[in-house]
């Protein structure tokens, strides 16, 4: 899995959380949209291909959010809430990126330790 995948996964998980945090359930609804080819995608692709739409009670789409970082606001009256959600999603992407960097660093350090141990064992033998 790529770093980009895990960042997108972090965003897709955060979208409903941000909705719950900033939107009023009595005024807004979060709709999960799937592409037409959803069933053709593998399990990992399915997790990050969703698009979320926020609608008002009249079913007018106010905004959309995609894990790739594409966010759009369609209603100026919703802009303030939209900006708060986007800020929250940017923070989630930042934290996911940071977590991946830490994971790669730990994996590299562990690989180097194992390599050194094997190298040390090999150097003890002589012909």
The gap from C-alpha 60 to its chain's centroid, in whole angstroms, comes to 26
Cβ(55)–Cβ(28) below 8 Å: yes
- 81: which 2 tokens? 């809430």
Euclidean distance between CA atoms 64 and 53, whole angstroms: 4
**What pTM did the predictor assign?**
0.76
Tens digits of residue pLDDT in 40-56: 998 888 888 899 999 99
Tens digits of residue pLDDT in 54-98: 999 999 999 999 988 899 999 999 999 999 999 999 998 888 888
Q: What is the pLDDT of residue 56?
A: 96
Residues 6+ apart with CB under 8 A from 96: 6, 7, 9, 10, 11
15 CB neighbour count, 10 Å cutoff: 23
């Amino acid at each position: 899995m790529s770093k980009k995948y895990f960042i997108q996964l972090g965003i897709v998980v955060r979208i409903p959380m941000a909705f719950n945090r900033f939107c009023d359930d009595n005024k807004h609804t979060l709709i999960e949209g799937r592409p037409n080819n959803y069933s053709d995608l593998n399990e990992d692709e399915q997790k990050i291909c969703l698009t979320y739409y926020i609608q008002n009670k009249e079913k007018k789409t106010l905004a959309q959010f995609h894990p790739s970082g594409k966010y759009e606001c369609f209603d100026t009256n919703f802009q303030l809430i939209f900006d708060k959600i986007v800020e929250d999603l940017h923070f989630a992407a930042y934290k996911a990126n940071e977590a991946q960097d830490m994971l790669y660093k730990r994996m590299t350090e562990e690989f180097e330790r194992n390599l050194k141990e094997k190298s040390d064992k090999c150097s003890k033998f002589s012909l």
